[in-house]
Every structure is written in C-alpha cells, then in structure tokens.
Structure 1
Amino acid sequence: MARETAPATGQDERQKSKKLGSLRSLWPFMLPYRGLLAMAVMALVLTACVSLVLPLAVRRVVDNFEDGSGQLLNQYFGAALAITALLAVGTALRYALVTRLGERVVADIRKAVFDRVIGLSPVF
C-alpha cells in the first residue's frame, strides 16, 4: 500500500532549497567548459572589485567640488567615468560568459537525458 505523506510546507521547501549539495551533480556537465567557467569567474571578480572601487572615485569627485583646482576635479571625474565604463564592460562580459556557459550545460544535460531515455527498454 502506498503511504500518504503530508504535503510539504513552504518552510520545508525553503530549508531544502538552501542545501547546495544537489548542485554537485552538475559538475560533470561543467567540466568540459573549464576555460569558460574560469573566464566567467574572473569577470565576476573583476566586476566585484570595480564595484567596490567606484564609490571611492565618486567620493573624490564630490569631496573636491569646493577646491579651487578644476584640473584635479577633471582628473577625478575622468577616473570615475573610466571606472564606470570598466564596470559596464565587465558586467556585459560576465553576462555573456555566464549565459553561454549555462546554455551549453543545459544543452549537454538535455542530450544526456535524451540518450538515457532512448537507451531504455521499449517496455518502459
């Protein structure tokens, strides 16, 4: 006889979703794309570092408005714009790399599932 179980509550589902152990099964599908994964992680670290530097650059611009040196203010403003441009490029690169990696991994998983289903007995 089949056992009836109570439906899982939202809290139970949330506790399950916090466990990252099930993601280990994705690792074999990601191994062929080590280079792409490394580039995506590097882009993530780059954008994180630039995101931490950007407020410092903006602070320099704001703090030097009262100073009489317009040249120094122009340099700080130019640096803030350059950092913002670097952040934009890094974010676009990260997005492109993660999207490409995700699409390839999903395609490999679909292929593995298809191959598994095709390999099953017709009785199944």
Structure 2
Amino acid sequence: MLNKIKEHYGFQTDSEFANHLGVQPQVLSNWKSRKTFDAELIYSKCKQLNPAWLLCQEGSMLNKKRAALEVHEEKTPYFLKKSIENLEKQLVRLQDTYQIIEESKDFFHKVIQETERQLHQQKKLLKES
C-alpha cells in the first residue's frame, strides 16, 4: 500500500516519500517491515486518498471529490522541484550514456575493420592452397 501511494505521488525514493510525510526514512522503513503505518498522518499529507481504501483497502485509491477540491499536488513547488531534479539527473545519465556509445562506436568500427581484414586474408589463403 505504501508503495502504491509513493508511486501515485511520483516519489523516486523512500527518502523523498518520507520527507513529504514529515517522518524520518527509518520510520517509513519500519512501517514497511511491520506492514503498518500512521493512517491519520498519511491521510493528512496525501489528501487525494480515499480513507476507505487507506484503512480497509476498499474502493478506489483516490477520493475523486476530495481530489477535485484540492490543489493539484503535482503542481506544488515541492513536486515541481523534485520533478526538475529527477529530469536533470536523467538528462545527465542519458548524456553520459550517449558519450559512452559514441566512444564505443569508434572502437567497434576498428574491430569490424580488423575482422574484415582477417577474413579477407583467410579467404585469400584458402584460395591459394
């Protein structure tokens, strides 16, 4: 259940989720290992959740009426900053990966050329024998 909430709100790490809830990451870890949580706290911090789902896992996860009345949390400065941070990290990883691929391209081109040269040489030896 905690992972579903974390996923819905777009948190990448348990630490981010714990920060949003206002608890230490260790508290969240303890909840997960004990399969329990502070429902009142979560409900107060995650206002779109359906209390019946939170307490009994009945109905849909989101309370559509309450969600419609709330400010969209994904547009709050906290979520926007986290989204920007995550996108910046993703961009750096993609740029690093692209650089590795570009560098590897030259290496593989040389290996292909050498393999073609050896193949040609072996075919020539076969014809001569």
Place the TM-score, normalised by the shorter chain, in its bin.
0.3 to 0.5
Select the structure of larger CA radius of gyration: 2
TM-score (norm 2): 0.36
> Whose relative contact order is higher, 1 or 2, with alpha carbons under 8 Å and at least 6 apart?
1
